[in-house]
């Protein structure tokens, strides 16, 4: 009821439908109509590339990292900024422990710790991190010091544990922004001063040398009292830092290992740390994590390595020896010098960083050179092979290091020959094995003998390397001896921190609630009621290239994008008045396609560009910004349709001639003349051109220890 049925339903108007098999035109340009790819697919491909680039370029950025470890300080719950803001602020005196770098990041390095109480802050270490091939053109990354700059008035001192670059490398970029006295052992301060020679700020801080053997204590501000305690490491004069605060004693171990017979006779001063623990108690132990996953303990020391090097010299009395090791292993170099003296050999050092470190060692008395043993590289070629020993860098297969250049013939003085014996006094860093193998293959192709650590069954030579970091049993021994109330693993990737925490709970009976696995930026607050993790501070990284200049994130993203997809540039030269193309479109491809092998695609591209210019100008002047955007989108569409790749597309439009151009040019001349009239008179004399002052560029930084070598590199083969 109340309804009326139509007797005849109206049929569709078929004339309005597109003809079967003839899809609707996408554009008035023929080249675009020939594409088989939808715009949405191209957009998704661009987005995938952009996301991949962003992920790769943001590894150094730290916002709120995922940390659901049972030791994360929140009972395994993920930290939430919103939840933290709702928490009441801590009342009363608070001791804050804030790692600014070095914990759970993209590699080992960038170590930096800030300790704050009331109106005082001290900073322990200030290193950088080598990012490796993930970051093309980036030499190293320094910590973001935003929080310290906001509290600049509180910074009272810089304290350094030892002289490796992952602990001192960033200092020259930061000290002029946060001026304060510097404290450390003799050799460590000498290494800091050497890095400051490359600083451009002109600021020179006050250096205060401390003696670990005399248990010297220094008052810092109103809140802190510091003491350095001797530890052993792969670099001389390494120390732990004891920080006495109103809340209790903190200990930052720095990097360490136990040695029974150290080269300089200065053993790990565990007795002093145990004495402090017994008399004062240790509130928090901040212990490095680099090799805590390695089983057992060290079963040899530097004296055994020196004996092995002497064994090589005895075994090859008539051969030229080339020994490769890390540039900071001065105790290893002392052993080489002593064995060379016994064998009647001369020693030459090769590699910028190695020579610099040897000079620091000589000035501080760390190295004692036997008489008439060290010679210059250029004098080596005049001597018989049996009298020659060369100590150089390149033990990790670095492509441009001295050892590889010797093998390829690119070195100024030395070319590897079939009578040479090359000794690797190091172990390959995880991830670097294939690059070391590449170097070894290159050396053996030249006919030389290669002696590596851990292959005694092949070479008949004993151990040739010793890690600078303690193993599992060493950590158990140290933690048990100090028996801290709270424990914080530091200096390592996240898996190392977690295993260090598990070790402390399982082997040393530290309660799980008293162990904190942190990320850089976390804040540990210690009050009279106990310790808790409470919030975060801004942290991250600042990138530098080989010249020591800051590199922005945008530049890095473009480099990564170009390394993956390449770059495609089109240059259009048009008449300003008519919009007519004056020349054939210029097309430049870099890292994308080889133009001579892609004539069909280039013809298609030129056809599109000619039609696009003709349609866009057509007697009117288009919006140039809009035209460039359309060119970029449509060229990307065409290239993806033909190649399934999304390079960086850069359209360039040059407008030449035309009445408007002449008027604009005349106007510019008038403006220039008017600006010239406003300048002060010079009595007809033309002021000579003043060339800018020549810039001084620091040398490229290279890893100087086995903990900070980048893990990944480009796959380049020697043969």
The mean pLDDT value for 483-495 works out to: 95
The mean pLDDT value for 479-484 works out to: 97
CA distance 493 to 290: 8
Q: Is the dihedral of CA 437, 298, 168, 99 positive or negative?
A: positive
Angle at 609 between CA 604 and CA 610, to 5 degrees: 100
**Choice among 396-405, 446-455, 532-541, 584-593 with the minimum mean pLDDT:** 396-405
Of 336 and 719, the one with more pLDDT: 336
In this prediction, residue 12 has a pLDDT band, given cuts at 50, 70 and 90, of low
Say if CB 426 and CB 359 are below 8 A apart: no
Per-residue pLDDT for 22 more than 60?
A: no
Per-residue pLDDT for 1 more than 50?
A: no
CA distance 227 to 215: 6
**Choice among 189-203, 421-435, 577-591, 633-647 with the minimum mean pLDDT:** 421-435
CA distance 90 to 74: 16
CA distance 105 to 54: 17
Model confidence pLDDT, tens digit, residues 273-307: 999 999 999 999 999 999 999 999 999 999 999 99
| Beta-sheet strands, E only, within 151-193 | 155-159, 182-184
The pLDDT of residue 615 is 87
* Domains defined for the chain, CATH in brackets: 29-57+566-656 (3.10.20.580), 81-296+469-544 (3.60.15.10), 302-458 (3.40.50.10710)
Per-residue pLDDT for 715 more than 50?
A: no
Per-residue pLDDT for 671 more than 70?
A: no
With 0-12 CB in 10 A as exposed, 13-18 as middle and 19+ as buried, what is 657? middle
Of 718 and 220, the one with more pLDDT: 220
Query: Which residue in the block uniquely carries the two structure tokens 């209790």?
Result: 248
Q: Which of 140, 91, 39, 18 has its CA nearest to residue 534?
A: 91
Say if CB 147 and CB 539 are below 8 A apart: yes
Q: Looking at the chain, how many residues does it have?
A: 719
Per-residue pLDDT for 263 more than 50?
A: yes
Per-residue pLDDT for 658 more than 90?
A: no
Per-residue pLDDT for 2 more than 60?
A: no
CA distance 533 to 67: 13
| Beta-sheet strands, E only, within 61-186 | 95-101, 112-117, 120-124, 140-143, 155-159, 182-184
**Choice among 58-62, 193-197, 246-250, 446-450 with the minimum mean pLDDT:** 58-62
With 0-12 CB in 10 A as exposed, 13-18 as middle and 19+ as buried, what is 625? exposed
**Choice among 390-404, 489-503, 522-536 with the minimum mean pLDDT:** 390-404
Mean pLDDT of the chain, nearest integer: 88
The pLDDT of residue 61 is 82
Model confidence pLDDT, tens digit, residues 201-210: 889 999 999 9
The mean pLDDT value for 496-507 works out to: 96
The pLDDT of residue 3 is 58
The percentage of residues in the chain with a pLDDT greater than 90, rounded to a whole number, is 68
Q: Which of 333, 328, 347, 320 has its CA nearest to residue 443?
A: 320
Q: What are phi and psi of 665, to 5 degrees?
A: -65, -45
The percentage of residues in the chain with a pLDDT greater than 70, rounded to a whole number, is 89
Q: What is the three-state SS of 611-629?
A: HHHHHHHCCCCCCHHHHHH
pTM of the model: 0.86
Per-residue pLDDT for 94 more than 80?
A: yes
Cα pseudo-dihedral 54, 57, 58, 60, rounded to 10: 170
In this prediction, residue 680 has a pLDDT band, given cuts at 50, 70 and 90, of very low
132-146 as b/e: b if 16+ CB within 10 A = bebbbebbbbbbbbe
CA distance 373 to 337: 7
The pLDDT of residue 15 is 62
In this prediction, residue 31 has a pLDDT band, given cuts at 50, 70 and 90, of confident
Q: At what angle do helices 39-57 and 553-565 cross, to 10 degrees?
A: 120
Q: Which of 331, 342, 312, 337 has its CA nearest to residue 424?
A: 312
The pLDDT of residue 408 is 84
CA distance 260 to 256: 13
Per-residue pLDDT for 678 more than 60?
A: no
Per-residue pLDDT for 405 more than 50?
A: yes
CA distances from 457 to 107, 146, 309, 425, 452 (A): 33, 54, 16, 16, 11
The pLDDT of residue 675 is 41
State the DSSP H helix or E strand holding residue 33, giving kind and residue range, or none if neither.
helix 30-33
The pLDDT of residue 513 is 95
CA distances from 221 to 98, 375, 561 (A): 18, 48, 49
Model confidence pLDDT, tens digit, residues 221-241: 999 999 999 999 999 999 999
Distance of CA 527 to the CA centre of its chain: 36
Q: How many beta carbons lie within 10 A of that of residue 325, not counting itself?
A: 25
The pLDDT of residue 456 is 87
The mean pLDDT value for 597-617 works out to: 91
């Amino acid at each position: 009821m109340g309804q009326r049925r139509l007797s005849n339903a109206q049929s569709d108007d078929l004339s309005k439908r597109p003809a079967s098999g003839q899809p609707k035109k996408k554009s008035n340009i023929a080249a675009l109509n020939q594409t088989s790819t939808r715009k949405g697919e191209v957009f998704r491909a661009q987005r995938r590339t952009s996301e991949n680039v962003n992920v790769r370029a943001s590894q150094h950025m730290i916002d709120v990292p995922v940390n659901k470890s049972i030791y994360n300080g929140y009972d395994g719950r993920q930290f939430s900024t919103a939840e933290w803001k709702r928490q009441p602020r801590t009342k009363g005196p608070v001791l804050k422990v804030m790692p600014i770098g070095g914990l759970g990041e993209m590699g080992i390095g960038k170590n930096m710790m800030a300790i704050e109480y009331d109106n005082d802050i001290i900073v322990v270490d200030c290193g950088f991190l080598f990012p490796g091939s993930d970051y093309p053109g980036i030499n190293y990354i320094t910590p973001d010091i935003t929080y310290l700059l906001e509290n600049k008035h509180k910074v009272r001192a810089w304290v350094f544990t030892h002289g490796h670059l992952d602990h001192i490398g960033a200092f020259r970029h930061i000290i002029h922004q946060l001026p304060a006295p510097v404290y450390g052992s003799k050799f460590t301060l000498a290494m800091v001063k050497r890095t400051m020679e490359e600083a451009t700020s002109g600021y020179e801080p006050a250096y205060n040398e401390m003696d670990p053997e005399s248990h010297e204590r220094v008052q810092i501000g109103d809140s802190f009292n510091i003491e350095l305690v001797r530890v052993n490491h792969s670099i001389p004069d390494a120390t732990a830092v004891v920080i006495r605060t109103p809340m209790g004693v903190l200990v930052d171990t720095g990097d360490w290992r136990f040695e029974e017979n150290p080269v300089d006779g200065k053993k790990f001063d565990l007795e002093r740390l145990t004495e402090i623990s017994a008399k004062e108690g240790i509130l928090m132990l901040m212990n490095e994590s680099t090799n805590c996953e390695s089983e057992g303990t060290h079963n040899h020391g530097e004296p055994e390595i020196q004996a092995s090097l002497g064994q090589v010299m005895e075994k090859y009395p008539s051969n030229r020896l080339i020994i490769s090791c890390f540039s900071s292993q001065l105790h290893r170099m002392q052993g080489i010098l002593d064995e060379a003296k016994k064998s009647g050999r001369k020693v030459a050092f090769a590699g910028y960083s190695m020579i610099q470190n040897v000079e620091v060692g000589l000035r501080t008395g760390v190295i004692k050179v036997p008489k008439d043993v060290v010679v210059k590289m250029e004098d080596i070629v005049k001597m018989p092979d049996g009298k020659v020993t060369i100590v150089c860098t390149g033990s990790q297969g670095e492509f441009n290091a001295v050892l590889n250049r010797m093998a390829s013939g690119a070195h100024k003085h030395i070319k590897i020959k079939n009578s040479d014996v090359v000794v690797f006094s190091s172990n390959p860093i995880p991830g670097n094995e294939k690059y070391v193998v590449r170097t070894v293959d290159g050396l053996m192709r030249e006919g030389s003998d290669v002696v590596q650590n851990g292959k005694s069954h092949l070479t008949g030579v004993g151990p040739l390397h010793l890690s600078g970091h303690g193993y599992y049993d060493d950590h158990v021994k140290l933690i048990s001896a100090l028996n801290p109330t709270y424990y914080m693993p530091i200096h390592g990737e996240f898996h190392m921190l977690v295993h260090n925490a598990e070790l402390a709970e399982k082997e040393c009976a530290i309660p799980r609630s008293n162990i904190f696995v942190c990320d850089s930026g976390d804040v540990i607050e210690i009050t009279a009621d106990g310790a808790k993790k409470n919030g975060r501070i801004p942290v991250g990284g600042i990138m530098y290239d080989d010249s020591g200049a800051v590199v922005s994130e945008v530049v890095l993203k473009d480099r990564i994008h170009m390394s993956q997809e390449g770059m495609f540039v089109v240059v259009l030269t048009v008449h300003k008045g008519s919009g007519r193309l004056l020349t054939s479109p210029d097309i430049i491809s870099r890292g994308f396609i080889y133009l001579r092998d892609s004539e069909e695609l280039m013809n298609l591209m030129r056809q599109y560009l000619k039609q696009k210019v003709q349609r866009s100008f057509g007697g009117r002047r288009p919006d140039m910004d809009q035209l460039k955007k359309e060119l970029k989108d449509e060229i990307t569409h065409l290239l993806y349709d033909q190649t399934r790749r999304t390079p960086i597309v850069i359209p360039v439009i040059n407008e030449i001639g035309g009445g408007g151009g002449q008027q604009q040019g005349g106007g510019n001349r008038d403006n220039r003349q008017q600006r010239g009239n406003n300048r002060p008179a010079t009595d007809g004399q033309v002021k000579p051109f003043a060339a800018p002052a020549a810039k001084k560029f620091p040398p490229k930084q290279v890893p100087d220890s086995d903990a900070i070598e980048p893990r990944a590199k480009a796959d380049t083969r020697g043969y």
